[in-house]
Amino acid sequence: MLRVLFSMLFVLSFLSAAAQEGGMSGDSIEKRSYIHMLHTNATRFDEAINPEAWILVGDVSFRRDSMYMYCDSAHYFQKKNSFQAFGNVRMEQGDTLFLYGDYLDFDGEKNLARVRSNVRLIDKKTMLETDSLDYDRNSNVGYFFDYGVLSDEESTLTSYYGEYNVGTKEAYFQDDVSLENPKFRMLSDTLRYNTVSKLASIVGPTNIYSDENEIYSERGMYNVAQQHATLLDRSVLFNGKKQATADSIFYNSAAGYSEVFGNIIYSDTLNRNMLTGEYAYINEVVDSAYVTDRALVADFSQKDTLFMHADTIWAVSYNIDTDSLYRQIKAYNKVRAWGKNMQAVCDSLVFDSRDSCMTMYKDPIMWNDGVQLLGEVVKVYMDSTNIKWAHVINQTLYVEPVDSANYNQIRGQEMKFFFTDGKLSEMQVIGSVELVFYPLDDDGGYVGMNTTVAGRISAFMKDGQVDKVVVPKESSGVFYPMSQRPPEKRFLENFAWFDYVRPCSKEDVFEWRGKDANMKLKVFKKESVPLPSLDRFKKDK
């Protein structure tokens, strides 16, 4: 009889609550969204267990607004508009949102569900698993704080603290964050991820690893579905022995290319060089890089680091994935290069790793210590540490100042220069050779001026100056004492001293200073510069 009385009282109190929710108690009572008890197999009240709660046992169900809640048993606090649910807890909203757990504490006043133990929140194709979840129905946000796993069709996201917004599909994860995908792995301090757009927002130190490369960024966006990344704040893109750092990077991992903007540093530890500039296009499929806007390449492969600037610089690999792999660096328009032992200017330049040769085209000039070399084409061959030899072709000119007014000068059709420890040690001049040379006496004084015409000559250097000249017997020449030198014989016909265009530091390579208009060479036999094909670099874009 007592059990029936309790049940009647429970029903009456439930009807009273429903009347208040529907405004039946008058305008003076504020409307409230009440929890409705929909079903239970048994109802009892036990003051010893809980003097404020109805105890509901067996197939218990509740409703609050559009949310339906189920459990094996519950303690229902009518006055507090709340309940505690035990065993096989399930919350359902429509046919898309489901929340499971072993225990639920639901506060109807705050509209807050605290779910514990074996928690699963399922939102369409997204599932959040954890042991402790607070779900705020006002904001539609679930919070976990003791490790959680969020998974969708493609990715799994884990961290120790996180939030998931059912309305916006936005996840915010913090503290030891990991995003796993078949194509990459992302480790972060803080990460936002949208399960619909598949956009991961990088808002803290983050590393992204794949089989081909690695990314480090502290701010940016990564489209998981398309494998596109927009990276900011000096992010770094690693690809094998190469890495690119810039103010911003757009990276298409699927197509294998990136566009890089602002204060770029693209380093290649394998080939020991570095490209810098304000814009770069990097294609990792064909292993190429294009840099412009204050473009600079720094080559560390030699003992003397060479810094080279041009309007545009390309670094291109050929025959990749074969034993015939080789690499070229191509510089175009207003090339200026500086190293401690060598400086150069020209219009365009190509370096080829097959023979370690740097070829300069169109008004090339090269300096080694106090020596100036020029011709129509200059080829410089290097070994692993230094310049090995140089080949100057057509309209060649060698100039070496001996004092402020006099110069050793040699010209011919072809010159070959040989270097020892980066310094010029020997030269061979071939074809229509003309020479103006100031020999020294034993005390180091100049004894006169020697002019020679020959088919070929050899010259040997000492302390950076011509020490000995070897000429064939059939050559002709005149020796003039210093006081009897004819003015018209002091300079060769094509003499020019271009010290005013010579780069004087690695910063000075950016300041173009061209030859005087009347000092440019007339090219009688021009060798074509191999031009790159833009399609080669963008065919995979």
pLDDT tens per residue, range 165-198 = 999 999 999 999 999 999 999 999 999 999 999 9
Write out the DSSP string of 244-278.
EEEEEEEEETTTTEEEEEEEEEEEETTTTEEEEEE
Backbone φ, ψ for residue 2 (5° rounding): -65, -40
What is the spatial distance between Cα 80 and Cα 103, in angstroms, rounded to a whole number? 18
What is the spatial distance between Cα 224 and Cα 231, in angstroms, rounded to a whole number? 14
- Other beta carbons within 10 angstroms of residue 420's beta carbon come to 12
Residue type, 423: K
Structure tokens at 425: 């040690």
Cβ atoms of 75 and 50 within 8 Å: the answer is yes
The one-digit pLDDT tens for each residue of the chain (541 residues) are: 444 444 444 444 444 444 444 433 333 333 457 899 999 999 998 777 777 889 999 999 999 998 999 999 999 998 899 999 999 999 999 888 999 999 999 999 999 999 999 999 999 999 999 999 999 999 999 999 989 999 998 899 999 999 999 999 999 999 999 999 999 999 999 999 999 999 999 999 999 999 888 999 999 999 999 999 999 999 999 988 889 999 999 999 989 899 999 999 999 888 788 999 999 999 988 889 999 999 999 988 777 788 999 999 999 888 888 888 888 999 999 999 999 888 999 999 999 988 889 999 999 999 988 899 999 999 999 887 778 899 999 999 999 998 888 999 999 999 999 988 878 899 999 999 999 999 888 777 888 999 999 999 998 888 767 888 888 888 898 999 988 999 999 999 889 999 999 999 999 999 999 887 666 665 444 444 454 444 544 444 4
pLDDT tens per residue, range 148-165 = 999 998 899 999 999 999
- Other beta carbons within 10 angstroms of residue 442's beta carbon come to 6
Give the domains, in start order, of the chain with CATH numbers. Answer: 339-347+355-513 (2.60.450.10)
| Predicted TM-score (pTM) above 0.95 | no
What is the spatial distance between Cα 508 and Cα 264, in angstroms, rounded to a whole number? 19
Contacts of 158 (CB under 8 A, 6+ apart): 147, 148, 149, 150, 173, 177, 178, 180
Bridge partners for 392 per DSSP: 378, 415
What is the spatial distance between Cα 179 and Cα 199, in angstroms, rounded to a whole number? 12
Cβ atoms of 278 and 510 within 8 Å: the answer is no
Structure tokens at 498: 């271009």
Cβ atoms of 364 and 529 within 8 Å: the answer is no
